[in-house]
Amino acid sequence: MKPIPGPPPTPISALQRAQDRLSFVYLERCVVHRDGNALTATDDRGVVHLPAATVGALLLGPGTNVTHQAMVLMAESGSTCVWVGEQGVRYYAHGRTLTNASRLLEAQAALVSNQNLRLRVAREMYAMRFPGEDVSALTMQQLRGREGARVRKAYRDASEEFGVEWTKRDYRPDDFTGSDPVNMALSSATTSLYGVCHAVIVALGCAPGLGFVHTGHARSFVFDVADLYKAEIAIPVAFKVASEQEPDDIPAETRRAVRDAIVSQDLLARCARDVRRLLVGDQGETADDAPDWDVIYLWDRKGTKVVCGQNFSDDAPW
């Protein structure tokens, strides 16, 4: 029998964990290839080498050509690719997960399918965003009202701190440059934040579409998780950039500023920890050490795990 061509996949247990990786890298109008164990991005200015095994999310913008070997390396490294549009403000597709275990996914599905449990998670998300408030008895309508008031205050505070005039959030998906500078910066900042949160969610094996506060969208859970950090990272970064940069420089400068904030605040580790905490509580702290990365079980209605690959018939020949 002929050997199977190509290198075998790297065992997931040997890959770097999601929370220990770099935040994101945005590329556009270049050719992405592979040089050994590094990705290369080539354009008319030269070649840049990127450590694939430590990239959390690779955001591929317009004009990007990716070779087969580059995608093989990304798959081997367990890095997530997110295909985005101009200035990184549109989402098209994403790559693979960094785990074969379904523990968090099953917990997420169970929580989102029960109204009481779903409300409990929504309350915990709000408490994480705005600590110091007792939300244990609030309804979803009351939570939305509190959130709206807090977010408006975050915009006003940032406007006063950085001296940028603020009227309202004006997001135009079909015309990015049609907004004022601070709204363009907010769009770029939130998109970068979405990409990083998406990468963590996918890497942990969760479903981006099963949200608790948001619903009905393929990335509802991404929006939920990103909202945990929006008032802390995206809003102040956007207002700061808008106060310093010309409009033409805002998208790139905002992405770099968000990246720096993500690194300085260790957001990937926080995000992975927060997702586990929301879905499995105190057990989330040790989820990385679970021994069943690549083990398949059979379902049993008693709630126990039944080992797979075993014949359970009475007359089995072995």
Mean pLDDT by 10 residues, the chain (318 residues): 57 56 78 89 92 76 89 77 67 62 90 96 91 87 90 94 90 72 91 85 88 93 95 94 82 88 86 92 55 62 67 56
- Best CATH choice for the domain 12-94 from the list 3.90.1170.50, 3.90.1150.10, 3.100.10.20, 2.40.30.20: 3.100.10.20
- Alpha-carbon span 197 to 214, nearest angstrom: 15
Looking at residue 277, what is its pLDDT? 93
Looking at residue 9, what is its pLDDT? 55
Looking at residue 210, what is its pLDDT? 96
Looking at residue 287, what is its pLDDT? 46
Looking at residue 279, what is its pLDDT? 95
- Alpha-carbon span 210 to 221, nearest angstrom: 5
Looking at residue 289, what is its pLDDT? 45
- As given in the structure block, the two tokens for residue 81 are 């690719």
214 annotated to bind ligand: yes
Tell me how far the alpha carbon of residue 126 is from its chain's centroid. 18
Positions of CATH 3.100.10.20 in the chain: 12-94
Residue range 103-287 forms a domain whose CATH class is mainly alpha
198 annotated to bind ligand: no
Looking at residue 292, what is its pLDDT? 47
Maximum CA pair distance of the chain? 79
Positions of CATH 1.20.120.920 in the chain: 103-287
Question: How many residues does the structure list for the chain?
Answer: 318
